[in-house]
Structure 1
Amino acid sequence: MKVHLKTLGCRLNEAELETWAVAFQQAGHQITRAAEAAQLIVLNSCAVTQDAARKSRQLIRRIHRDNPHAKLVVSGCYATLKPDEAAALMGVDLVVSNQDKDQLVAKTLSELDMDTMPDLSSEPAASSLFTRGRQRAFIKVQDGCRYRCTFCIVTVARGEEVSRPIAAVIDEINTLHQQGITEVILTGVHLGGYGSDTGHSLTDLVTAILAQTRIPRLRLGSLEPWELPADFFTLFHNPRLMPHLHLPLQSGSDTVLRRMARRCKTAEFA
């Protein structure tokens, strides 16, 4: 069976697509970049803004119009926040919430009766990222957020913070490196909060990755600098950790930041 994976929105969605791609391949299915050739299409939707939710609906309709014979599975934040609305859209065969994303491949194959259609069950020899036209990997290291900024619907859609074990992250990076990937980007809903539920920290994670993998380039996704301890910045002495931070400052107005329930003031970064 040929499977086409598509995403809207954040890097976290992209990381989840790669996890699904590997699982579909291990079940004997083929990842294709051609949506019109697929028997199954999976969309990881977005709802970070009203415009993103609208684009998710539009994309669902377009996917079905362009390939009406393919089964269509919708997951992601739009599908989680508006499950009935998503399920009612023409062409949608299955809705999988964010809470069930870890079982998306198994649920899809069983509930849509597609687990009897494998081409060849095997471990992928090369990263499916190459099949999907990607050269670097987004690694999901945590999900959810313990804060409730007034403007952010993602915390509702993603739930409380859950961090992946350090060993699991290292295993994934080593596997991707063996398959030819040379750059990975750590990502999460609240990346700076990594380890809040496990007793670890982002410093622990990055230190372990640099020590236990040989990946040539390691990058960090968006995170808030006031959550980083002073010793974190010494990690940049290692040339494999790219000297770049994406800082979500949001606004240059203290009034706006206060209304947004952000945890900083302009004096801290201006």
Structure 2
Amino acid sequence: ERHGLRNLVQTILAQTDIPRLRLSSLEPWDLDEAFFALWDNPRLCRHLHLPLQSGSDTVLRRMARRTTRAQFAALVEAARRAIPGLGLTTDIIVGFPGETEAEFADSLAFVEQMAFSHMHIFRYSPRPGTVAAAMPNQVPPEVAQERSRRMHELAARHERAFRRSLLGQELPVLWETAQETPGGYLWSGLTDNYVRAAAFSARNRHNQITPALLTTLLPDAVAARIPGEPLPRPALYLQPEALNLER
């Protein structure tokens, strides 16, 4: 299976001229260190979404996940070594049946260690007919909600730190949506390592990839400047309708 995925990506790169290819939601056990050699090709986005689900080994076993914290950490270390500037995103579930406060603390500590650039956090909810729905020690909703709040706080801190680390760098951005402004457009797009960027342009940049200098942190994005374009009024960046923040 590992070789099959690697061969598929190599074939796509060899037989198409797609300028940007992003791989998403790859299960950790389907990858090995050799897989990351594919990123020698700059058309592959420096972004991986590796669903963790929990940072507690005992919870992972109850979920029937085929990985451990140690295996996941080793894979992440190999990926970051092979792909400088990697944006690493994940999924986390809090309040899985039987999750104790100690297990949640383990999960929180492991997420802190991994320093993901973005996280999708879900509170467990039972689905009729599933194995998990019949498990004992279902976590009370108010406990799961509090754990979600704490995990979201940690995620926001790491996401902001990752965006801050990119300031001053010129990165390729695929421009997706725009708001018309006096004299041009305020464009919203994604860097190759999955950071939302906003930049002014007097021209239509839709579906174009351009270099952009990341200059300033915004609440949920980074202000950028496309070479050769004028700087906009700073207030433009603070209009939430100008940015498509869905990921």
Tell me which interval the TM-score lies in, with the shorter structure as reference length: 0.3 to 0.5
Q: Which has the higher contact order (CA 8 A, sep 6+)?
A: 1
Larger fraction in strand: 2
TM-score when normalising by structure 2: 0.35
Larger fraction in helix: 1
TM-score when normalising by structure 1: 0.32
